[in-house]
Amino acid sequence: MENSLLLMIALGGSALAAYAVVRAADLATRRADARRPGTPLWALLRRCRTPLFVVLFTALFGWAVHATGWTPARDHAGLVDRIRVLCLIGSGAWLTVRFASALVESSYARYAGRTHDRARVRRVRTQVTLITRVVSVGVGVIACAVALVTFPSFRALGTSLLASAGIIGIVAGVAAQSTLGNLFAGFQIAFGDMVRIGDTVVVDGEWGLVEEITLTFLTVRTWDERRVTLPVSYFTSRPFENWSRGGAEMTGTVFLHCDHATPVPLLRDHLRGFLDDCPGWDRRGWDLSVTDTSPTGITVRALVTAKDPDELWTVRCAVREELVRWLTEEHPAALPKVVTAPPPNPPGAPVVPRPGGGPSGG
């Protein structure tokens, strides 16, 4: 009964003390955030409440158990201390990752608020995302290494493995060649400014927005809401189209197949009048020309511009629909025709018999 009472006192006292400290820190960050609403750091630091509580509770509980003289803890002091150290290492790594992420994201938010160049903002966002992931992985690896060192058997194993570190390094390098290649490709993409989060790219005939970039893979969200996942090494070893690099403005074309009787000047004037009322056209440029001809018709190309790929797609569809509608209603003779019968004989021409018999004229 006495041991249970001591355990409850240690648990309750540690939890209350840790909660009081975390609550005080939370109130302090709230007040700082209210005084400086333009600084996102204080709001981001509030994410550290849970790992901070775990760190404080673990440290205070270990101290309380020793102070109260709880019998099971005295009898198994080594095991209790090891569990407490492991909990401190894990929660400390968790707190470190949350704190570092808050600092990095706060710096990015302030940079994004001051910069009007969206391309640079996307580039910094890509770098910040990869830096955060690297820090998280690094802290996790260090925490696992420190946790393993606390076990004497693993410490001896580590000493023996150091003697064969050269062989192990060669084997690991060969086995993880693809993974390491993707890892270095991720750094090359982040800091080489090849592709950024939010860029519009075309890969394997699919176009979409870069939604996520990690150390090993990249996700592209296509126009029909599909996700195409590619290794980051794809973008360092193969050609791809980046429609957002150097500016999002684009030029697009609309092709129409028409008859030789098409009134091209009138069609050009109608296109100009339609673009004046088209909200997606950015007024940078337009054109309408006959780009090809054949024995059965001509090819008319309409050229339009827009501020980004999405607007360009909308403008191209609108122009195509409007030109077809106008030709159908105003100049139906300009629509392409498919000749399925021979031409009639002119008056006075001799009648040429058909292969099946009977005259061809009349």
Asked whether the predicted pLDDT for residue 191 surpasses 70, the reply is: no
Q: What is the distance between the alpha carbons of residues 321 and 168, in angstroms, rounded to a whole number?
A: 65
What is the predicted pLDDT for the residue at 207?
A: 80
Q: How many CB atoms lie within 10 A of CB 128?
A: 20
Contact 127, 191 (CB under 8 A): yes
CA gyration radius, the chain: 36
Helices (H), the chain: 2-35, 41-45, 49-68, 71-75, 77-114, 118-149, 152-163, 165-175, 177-192, 234-237, 264-276, 309-330
Q: What is the distance between the alpha carbons of residues 125 and 105, in angstroms, rounded to a whole number?
A: 9
Q: What is the distance between the alpha carbons of residues 109 and 339, in angstroms, rounded to a whole number?
A: 65
pLDDT digits (tens, 9 = 90+) for 244-275: 776 668 888 999 999 988 999 999 999 999 99
Give 30 or 322, the one with higher predicted confidence. Answer: 322
pLDDT grade for 362, boundaries at 50, 70 and 90: very low
Contact 210, 196 (CB under 8 A): yes
Helices (H), 244-294: 264-276
Asked whether the predicted pLDDT for residue 51 surpasses 70, the reply is: yes
Asked whether the predicted pLDDT for residue 172 surpasses 70, the reply is: no
Contact 217, 211 (CB under 8 A): no
pLDDT digits (tens, 9 = 90+) for 201-236: 888 778 888 888 777 778 888 878 888 888 877 777
- 73 by Cβ neighbours in 10 Å (0-12 / 13-18 / 19+) ranks as buried
Contact 314, 223 (CB under 8 A): no
At CA 128, angle to CA 127 and CA 130, rounded to 5?
65
